[in-house]
Structure 1
């Protein structure tokens, strides 16, 4: 019966959407009706309201959708959706203030003389508007009203003109900032958690190990990373559109002719281009640049965009009038002033006022911020008074945001109902049962999303389909794809939903403003090529995941909060780079080790001498250990060719067997709870037992298909794989032990001046102790002891102070004995300074030269962060997808 109600849920949703019922009510309505019918049927004809649910009951699943949606507001990590109204406000403000119209007219004149120039200008402006507005309907309508008549007047092919406008208007769905990407990031955040649990369970079931190595975990994503990941694919799509239009124009010049306009390239027009183009580009730079640079979160960048759009609208609405640009100029000067203050004085923080210079920097910063606020309020007042723009924008923003959030709530309830009737299990079993592994599953999901795009809007697809399929795809270790890549691929696919008839929204928008001479069939013909180009872009991004993953990885590894080189996720790529470095510079590294080893260190404390000697020996072992890693890696690669097909087959059989085990456990509950007066009737218990017997036979038959020599084959491959793991762990432990003595000695020598300053303080302490009460003497000695302890390598100096404190803390304090111990500390200090100063003069230069030779190979793991050049290489390495399925 669960299957019946699952089918009923889908039918009700499809019927409601097909009949034109609002999406915001169709989704939760289908869920509530189906859950209610299932509960009523169970209550009337079976054991209770929860009889026909896969698990749980109606109350649990009705509240689950609301609870999941409410979690968006209550969980600090899931504040992503706050950015939606900010970006919507920015887009509508730029649209209402006619800045988008200025862009279209100016770029059309600029690109006109190029073959297909009007079409290329539409794509270019579409990309700019996508990066500033992201509102598909407004963009398509604007370009349809302005560009379509111009293209038709110049004898452009009607299908090409309409297809170009419709496709360019949808670029806002993939070029950040995009509402689609924000919603996908939010949905994927929870999907990653589920995928991580699924992968952890798979690892435990496959290997028997309780804990999975952290470098096998599923990496989460955020809206900022989604923006970064979609940036290059968006540019690829723009490039494909432009190349297609240019190629079409060259092959059929009459269908896309160049437009030569008299007096276009004049000084006045150049100024118009600058004024029209620079502000939107500056806004894009501020919004996306602040995210890419790690300066602002997505929400903060959205606020920057909203304010920037209002300032731009403030001067555009008063264009041609005196003082039109005054608020914008004031804002620019204030921002430049703030940048100068930060450049001269560094960070300005009201909590860290220590000098008159800090006070001056704070005053100047406050003046600059006050001027910025003045410019913002001035622009806001203009937009409020001129054509009632601000009120209209805020009303439209509220409507659009409410629409998005109501659909999200309804979709959360629909997804809960889908799970209530076991739909998620069915999808999982179907996908995992497909031959071909991850890529077969992925292609099926992409095909389903593409087909759904003919009938559903992007929001419904994103919030209904993604929560169901994303955990399954992300948990698969065979492809080990990132959440960012999966989100961008789905985003590119969803983008086609705006162009695919019969319900392509971009087509509806364009149909509403197109003249009667433009037939609907011509519009359908025009978008076919652009749908094909979107699918080509999808294929390019699928084959080259680096297009998506590189920028998020780069941003992460270059940011102030970059993970340290010891992060497990970085080790594989770091070791690949270090192997290449050893291959090129191995002789130089060995020479540096031998040179440092030959320096006289006999005057150092014995423990330091031993540590350095051991460190040099460990450093010499690093090169052969790295070669051992490469040999072990090659051995795994050679063995995996024969092992992988067997491994894939066996794991699939075991997965099917586990699925049957789960079903048997569910049926066993019915058997255990059946009988007279029990939850289930005797007949139900007997039917369940019959099913258990049948399933057990099926289970045994599946396990019988596993090759008899599987354990032996698996054991042999595990030994080879374990040898690689051991080689890597040995190398990491060895290089850490090799570099730690260098870090320790450098820190000790760096504190030489600090230690020298302790001499007068110890003498002063020695003079104070006899004059102090015992408790005061203990405090003075303890304070000096703590101060000495802050310097590296001062344990011998602290010993005397420790004993002196004990003496003065005892029942019979003795100042003379305490002074004798302080004298020992002074003597230890003098001895310490003797070797420290000599080492600083003779040894430190050699150590610095040695450190320079090994810091980016042997010493790499001990650094606070990766050097920028290596961070870029590691980012490139991490951007591919590494198959880790043989470890499961």
Structure 2
């Protein structure tokens, strides 16, 4: 074993990188610094061609020029703007009004709002913090068990990992596309099956809904066996917001329509356009960003609402015209009806532009636009810095023969693909205690996934398994990120051990879903094969 390690600088490079990141060194600079150090050291020993680093500018340019990854900052902008617009607060109020008079009603409301927030923001930290600030005080004030309340919030927040559109799935899908291409080249089939972010979005939809269903079944079972842990709310409590202030009189139906109509329409527009094949994830992210901008301006200014309504109606009319007429430009022969539809679409596009300009002005004056823009820029800059460091790391790792080493190691694991998958899942699960999901994706997916695909793993199924595994690690004590997020906003009366105890049953439900997915891969592959082929 020692002799094997001494002749494999690629393995030492991987070990040193993980060790430095666990010690708290910045991820991007750790990846780049370790890669360069090993490149020059191995170059001096004759184990690496330093000229390989000349490919780095081309690789970095390919990363920055990747049209798929453009979706990430747009989805981040969409999620942060919806968070700033207090969409979650209104949805939680509506769900609490609907289910609060029943035992466990607030647990169910939290799970459903978490699922809707996941489908509209895709950001785990934002969802957990928002739900912790809004839902936890209400549940504690009304006698809910702190552990049950905390577990429901953490579990609902992590749904942003698996339910599209998720930032995790955007980057995982892009890296999986590259891994699949590498596997096809290795197998001598360069024109083999292609896989993209849309496939991963479709593949994660059913497992995500299964997970939500299991959460609800557990909460109903818990409250049926122990009603005192999640008592029904008295009618007067349902009329109070998170701060205990009485809300304005409004029927349940009015509140639900006002709180859920716009977010649901936005979710349908974004996810529906991707799953229907009408738009790519990048194009759909643009729709989501503009929709979130309209929604924020609608909530901040009554004067802008007529123009926003006209803009949304104009977009719907353009979609209808596209379904009826062939509106491609540059054709030699165009009928009178098609020409009229094209000119009408130009006019309606002008109305949409005016709506966007008005919404930008409203959100700029309120301060939300600049705040969200700068936060989006900071998060995006962090992600792309890590991505560039990971690109250099992968380049050097492959130059040191890491891909062949991984293939040799995986092939030697007993039980073939099953054993290799168990090893990969356990490794990612353990690293998920300490590393962020992006770091795991950037480091492990380019290294392990091509080998697993060559061994016979379906790339979509593999991607969904990874996403669900990373979600599970978000909840696992003592290092689960969702637990830290909630600990940061929970009142001192909620003990850390109570948060851990409340999250434990949901870890079991996620592992159970992972087993369903492992034993029955069509859970992930059926929907993409049905709608995206």
Q: Which residue of 2 aligns with 1:58?
A: 50
CA distance in structure 2 between the partners assigned to 1:449 and 1:404 by the alignment: 19
Is the alpha carbon distance of 1:357 and 1:70 closer, same or farther for their aligned partners in structure 2, counting shifts above 3 Å?
A: closer
Does the aligned pair in 2 maintain the 1:348–1:365 contact within 8 Å?
no
Q: Which residue of 2 aligns with 1:123?
A: 111
The equivalent position to 2:67 in structure 1, one of 66, 69, 79, is 79
Q: Which residue of 2 aligns with 1:449?
A: 428
**Pair 1:503 & 2:479 matched:** yes
Range with bigger deviation, 254-263 or 298-307: 254-263
Match runs of 1:588-599 below 5 Å: none
Q: Which residue of 2 aligns with 1:850?
A: none
CA distance in structure 1 between the partners assigned to 2:267 and 2:30 by the alignment: 37
Range with bigger deviation, 160-169 or 419-428: 419-428
Is the alpha carbon distance of 1:336 and 1:178 closer, same or farther for their aligned partners in structure 2, counting shifts above 3 Å?
A: closer
Q: Offset at 1:264?
A: 6.2
Does the aligned pair in 1 maintain the 2:165–2:271 contact within 8 Å?
yes
Does the aligned pair in 2 maintain the 1:98–1:316 contact within 8 Å?
no
Does the aligned pair in 1 maintain the 2:97–2:252 contact within 8 Å?
no
Match runs of 1:108-187 below 5 Å: 108-187=96-175
Per-residue deviation, residues 196-236 of structure 1 (Å, max 9, x unmatched): 23334xxxxxxxxxxx7x9xx85221011111111111111
Per-residue deviation, residues 635-662 of structure 1 (Å, max 9, x unmatched): xxxxxxxxxxxxxxxxxxxxxxxxxxxx
Indicate the SS of the match to 1:527.
Answer: helix
Indicate the SS of the match to 2:330.
Answer: helix
Q: Which residue of 1 aligns with 2:265?
A: 282
Does the aligned pair in 2 maintain the 1:157–1:256 contact within 8 Å?
yes
Is the alpha carbon distance of 1:293 and 1:453 closer, same or farther for their aligned partners in structure 2, counting shifts above 3 Å?
A: same
Does the aligned pair in 2 maintain the 1:100–1:142 contact within 8 Å?
yes
Does the aligned pair in 1 maintain the 2:199–2:532 contact within 8 Å?
no
Does the aligned pair in 1 maintain the 2:118–2:163 contact within 8 Å?
yes
Q: Offset at 1:91?
A: 0.4
Is the alpha carbon distance of 1:501 and 1:413 closer, same or farther for their aligned partners in structure 2, counting shifts above 3 Å?
A: farther
Match runs of 1:750-765 below 5 Å: none
Is the alpha carbon distance of 1:336 and 1:454 closer, same or farther for their aligned partners in structure 2, counting shifts above 3 Å?
A: closer
Q: Which residue of 1 aligns with 2:365?
A: 385
The equivalent position to 2:453 in structure 1, one of 440, 464, 474, is 474
Match runs of 1:652-691 below 5 Å: none
CA distance in structure 1 between the partners assigned to 2:529 and 2:291 by the alignment: 28
Does the aligned pair in 2 maintain the 1:456–1:503 contact within 8 Å?
no
Q: Offset at 1:270?
A: 1.2
Indicate the SS of the match to 2:70.
Answer: helix
Q: Offset at 1:195?
A: 1.5
Q: Which residue of 2 aligns with 1:188?
A: 176
Match runs of 1:622-633 below 5 Å: none
Q: Which residue of 1 aligns with 2:379?
A: 400
- The alignment of Structure 1 onto Structure 2 pairs a total of residues equal to 519
**Pair 1:31 & 2:35 matched:** yes
CA distance in structure 1 between the partners assigned to 2:87 and 2:30 by the alignment: 37
Q: Which residue of 2 aligns with 1:703?
A: none
**Pair 1:18 & 2:22 matched:** yes
Indicate the SS of the match to 2:492.
Answer: coil
CA distance in structure 1 between the partners assigned to 2:352 and 2:297 by the alignment: 14
Q: Offset at 1:412?
A: 2.0
Per-residue deviation, residues 613-654 of structure 1 (Å, max 9, x unmatched): xxxxxxxxxxxxxxxxxxxxxxxxxxxxxxxxxxxxxxxxxx
Does the aligned pair in 2 maintain the 1:225–1:552 contact within 8 Å?
yes
Q: Which residue of 1 aligns with 2:493?
A: 517
Q: Offset at 1:123?
A: 1.0
**Pair 1:425 & 2:427 matched:** no
Which blocks of at least 5 consecutive residues in structure 1 are unaligned?
A: 40-48, 201-211, 558-888
Is the alpha carbon distance of 1:170 and 1:66 closer, same or farther for their aligned partners in structure 2, counting shifts above 3 Å?
A: farther
**Pair 1:300 & 2:283 matched:** yes
CA distance in structure 2 between the partners assigned to 1:354 and 1:454 by the alignment: 60
Indicate the SS of the match to 2:233.
Answer: coil
**Pair 1:225 & 2:205 matched:** no
CA distance in structure 2 between the partners assigned to 1:415 and 1:167 by the alignment: 33
Q: Which residue of 1 aligns with 2:246?
A: none
Is the alpha carbon distance of 1:187 and 1:357 closer, same or farther for their aligned partners in structure 2, counting shifts above 3 Å?
A: closer
Indicate the SS of the match to 2:187.
Answer: helix
Q: Which residue of 1 aligns with 2:318?
A: 338
Match runs of 1:388-787 below 5 Å: 388-476=367-455, 480-557=456-533
Does the aligned pair in 2 maintain the 1:291–1:301 contact within 8 Å?
yes
What's the TM-score, normalizing by structure 2?
Answer: 0.91
Q: Offset at 1:149?
A: 0.7
What's the TM-score, normalizing by structure 1?
Answer: 0.56
CA distance in structure 2 between the partners assigned to 1:14 and 1:351 by the alignment: 54
Is the alpha carbon distance of 1:527 and 1:461 closer, same or farther for their aligned partners in structure 2, counting shifts above 3 Å?
A: same
Indicate the SS of the match to 2:512.
Answer: helix
CA distance in structure 1 between the partners assigned to 2:421 and 2:321 by the alignment: 52
**Pair 1:68 & 2:51 matched:** no
Which blocks of at least 5 consecutive residues in structure 2 are unaligned?
A: 240-248
Question: Who wins on radius of gyration, i.e. which is larger?
Answer: 1
Q: Offset at 1:446?
A: 0.8
Per-residue deviation, residues 151-176 of structure 1 (Å, max 9, x unmatched): 11122222221111112111111111
CA distance in structure 2 between the partners assigned to 1:179 and 1:488 by the alignment: 14
Is the alpha carbon distance of 1:263 and 1:271 closer, same or farther for their aligned partners in structure 2, counting shifts above 3 Å?
A: farther
Q: Offset at 1:261?
A: 2.1
CA distance in structure 2 between the partners assigned to 1:275 and 1:328 by the alignment: 16
Does the aligned pair in 2 maintain the 1:159–1:522 contact within 8 Å?
yes
Per-residue deviation, residues 433-478 of structure 1 (Å, max 9, x unmatched): 12211111111111111111111110111111111111111112xx
Is the alpha carbon distance of 1:219 and 1:341 closer, same or farther for their aligned partners in structure 2, counting shifts above 3 Å?
A: closer
Range with bigger deviation, 267-276 or 239-248: 267-276
